Amino acid sequence: MTNYTRLIYEIKRKVSNFSKKISKDLSKPKTKFISQMIYGLLDSQSVLLSNIGRSLKEDNLLKK
């Protein structure tokens, strides 16, 4: 049986490491934004902001 929790953790870690490399000269909020955008793009498999926002599964409204 595949351990999905560990797989998701490894993917998030790789996305985080990649985003840190490409945003090393940016501020912390911008680095976090880039990390979440990359993860959202991969998870939703779409470039639409509404789909990326839904894939992040946060409590905030999509309008915010």
Q: CA 17 to CA 56: how far, in whole Å?
A: 18
Q: Give the tens place of pLDDT for each residue, 12-36.
A: 888 889 988 998 899 999 988 888 8
Residue 44, classed as helix, strand or coil, is helix
How many domains does one find in the chain? 1
Whether residue 46 lies inside any domain: the answer is yes
8-state DSSP, 2: -
pLDDT at residue 1 greater than cutoff 60 = no
Residue 39 inside a domain? The answer is yes
Residue 61 placed within a domain:
no
The dihedral sign for the CA sequence 12, 58, 60, 45: positive
Does residue 62 lie in a domain region?
Answer: no
Residue carrying the six token digits 């509404």: 50
Q: Exposed/middle/buried for 24, CB within 10 Å: 0-12, 13-18, 19+?
A: exposed
> How confident is the model over 57-64, as a mean pLDDT?
71
Mean pLDDT of 51-63: 76
Residue 63 forms part of a structural domain: no
Name the residue range of residue 16's domain: 4-56
Q: Is residue 50 part of a domain?
A: yes
In a domain, 64, yes or no: no
